[in-house]
Amino acid sequence: MSKYDDTYEVSLIVPVYNEEETIEIFVKEVEKTLESVLDHIKIVFVDDGSKDNSKKIIKDLIKENKRISLIELSRNFGKEAAMSAALDLVKSDAIVPIDVDLQDPPELILDFIKAWRENNIDIVYGIRVDRSKDSGVKRVTSGAFYKIFNKLSSKVKIPSNVGDFRLMDRRVVDVIKTLDENNRFMKGLFAWPGFTSYGVEYKRPNRVAGTTKWNYWKLWNFALDGIFSFSSLPLRVWSYLGAFIGCLSFLYMIYILVETFIYGINVPGYASIMCVILFLGAIQLISIGVIGEYVGRISDEVKKRPIYVASNIEGSLKEDLKDGLHKTDIGIYVNEDKSKVNNE
Ligand code: UDP
Ligand code: MG
């Protein structure tokens, strides 16, 4: 396998959660649009604990199609964990995370491969240019998210309107594999290694079938995860705010002392005292909440639980991975560097 000659191999890694309606359509579409490079393409589905027929459909496809493999996770770990499993286990020259619902148009992969091989670009990502199908609220909030994220995160910047759909060279994937934090904010992790990158614009279509698993509450938590795991500014801001309020309080204290010396003790002041107490109480609660966000995440990280548990592998990937996987005593596969599964 080499990027520079005709032996290059690109794996599409496809997280799947209850997608029985879309899997076959996806495979057909990929084989049709990528016909010219099909000999170089592999498809690795990661079944993220689906409760419907998805797993069976993939296993049936594997029987007649050598291009397809399956990594089965032991339960639903989330899309990020599913992608991490594939990044760890797949050894191709380049990897393309792609959704099974065809919202990431496979024909773009031709451009990705071209930029990767001919122009030596390490990360080629898709930029969504037309979000007209998203609701107004979603467009505004997502735009605000990218702005806030990039303001707060001083080192890692993420391009706006770029999802997980991209092609990554082997060396980028190898760096990402070393980032073993449990909080998998993939857009941030994908941007962390650096290297050369290039964006290809595309219009994001609607889902071909099935329904999305996202809602606003999940998106909000996703945004918080991203910000808190890539910036510590929200923690530091309280010191500055505290210092600022402290200065104001000092000035106010001098004012009160002077006033008392001149006019004597003046009892009324209930309203102003209440305002100050309530204001400071609110500020303290907010700052404790922010500290809590970080402490919660630290506690997740120190437990060092595996990000995923791959319970089974099928298809050609199984052959490729003979020595890359460690089988534990209790019969589950885990990534080689995390050969110990922690007790809960
Ligand atoms: N997905 C997953 N695990 C989950 C939720 C989703 O593997 O817990 C997969 C899903 O099957 C799909 C991709 O992640 O291939 C994107 O999901 P979805 O289309 O629901 O998200 P959206 O496109 O609306 O952001
Ligand atoms: Mg989708």
Check residue 327 and give its pLDDT. 58
The C-alpha atoms of residue 63 and residue 46 are separated, in whole angstroms, by 17
For the chain, what's the residue count?
Answer: 344
Ligand 2 geometric centre to CA of 210 (Å): 9
Distance CA(13)–CA(1), nearest Å, equals: 18
- Closest-lying ligand 1 atom to the alpha carbon of residue 15: 7
Classify burial at 141, counting beta carbons within 10 Å of its beta carbon; exposed 0-12, middle 13-18, buried 19 or more: middle
| pLDDT-above-70 percentage for the chain | 92
pLDDT tens profile 169-201: 999 999 998 888 888 888 888 988 889 899 998
When pLDDT is averaged across residues 142-170 and rounded to a whole number, the result is: 88
Which atom of ligand 1 is nearest the CA belonging to 103?
Answer: 23
Buried b (16+ CB within 10 A) or exposed e, 54-75: bbebbbebbeeeebbbbbbbee
**Which residue lies with its CA nearest to atom 5 of ligand 1?**
79
**Using CA atoms, how far apart are residues 68 and 61, in angstroms rounded to an integer?**
7
Of the ranges 115-124, 242-251, 252-261, 330-339, the best mean pLDDT one? 115-124
| Strands 123-130 and 197-203, sheet pairing | parallel
Q: In angstroms, rounded to a whole number, what is the distance separating the alpha carbons of residues 122 and 191?
A: 11
Model confidence at 324: pLDDT above 70: no
Q: Which ligand has the nearest atom to the CA of 46?
A: 1
Q: From CA 320, how far away is CA 300, in angstroms rounded?
A: 32
Q: In testing the pocket of ligand 1, which one of 18, 213, 222 has its CB within 8 Å of the most ligand atoms?
A: 213
201-215, 305-319, 329-343: range with lowest mean pLDDT: 329-343
At 331, the pLDDT band (50, 70, 90 cuts) reads very low
- Helix segments in the chain, DSSP class H: 23-33, 54-64, 79-89, 108-118, 136-152, 170-178, 186-191, 216-230, 233-263, 270-302, 316-320
Looking at ligand 1, which atom is closest to the CA of residue 207? 19
- Note the pLDDT tens digit of each residue in 259-302: 888 888 777 777 778 878 888 888 888 888 888 888 888 887 88
- Determine contact, residues 129/161, Cβ cutoff 8 Å: yes
pLDDT of 136 above 50:
yes
Instruction: Give me the mean pLDDT over the 231-254 stretch.
Output: 84
- Quick one: which of 17, 84, 15, 21 has its CA closest to 210? 21
Return the residue whose CA atom lies nearest to atom 12 of ligand 1. Answer: 99
- Give the pairing type, strands 123-130 and 325-327: unpaired
Ligand 1 binding pocket (C-beta < 6 A) is 15-17, 19, 48, 76, 78-79, 82, 99-101, 103, 212-214
Tokens 């994220």, residue located: 149
- Using the Cα atoms of residue 242, residue 243, residue 248 and residue 251 in order, give the sign of their dihedral: positive
Q: At what angle do helices 23-33 and 54-64 cross, to 10 degrees?
A: 40
Res 267: pLDDT? 74
pLDDT band at 338 (very low <50, low <70, confident <90, very high): very low
Widest CA span in the chain: 94
3-state secondary structure of 101: coil
Q: What is the pTM of this model?
A: 0.76
Q: Relative to the CA of 17, which ligand 1 atom is closest?
A: 11
* Predicted local confidence at residue 343, as pLDDT: 47
Q: Give the pair of three-digit tokens for residue 261.
A: 């010396």
Centre of ligand 1 from the C-alpha of residue 109, in Å: 19
- Tell me the pLDDT band of 254, cut-offs 50, 70 and 90: confident
Give ion ligand 2 contacts, CB < 5 A. Answer: 99, 101, 103
- Asked whether the beta carbons of 124 and 115 are under 8 A apart, the reply is yes
Interacting residues of 2 by C-beta distance below 8 A, sequence separation 6+: 8, 93
Query: How far is the first Cα of the chain from the last one, in angstroms, to the nearest whole number?
Result: 40
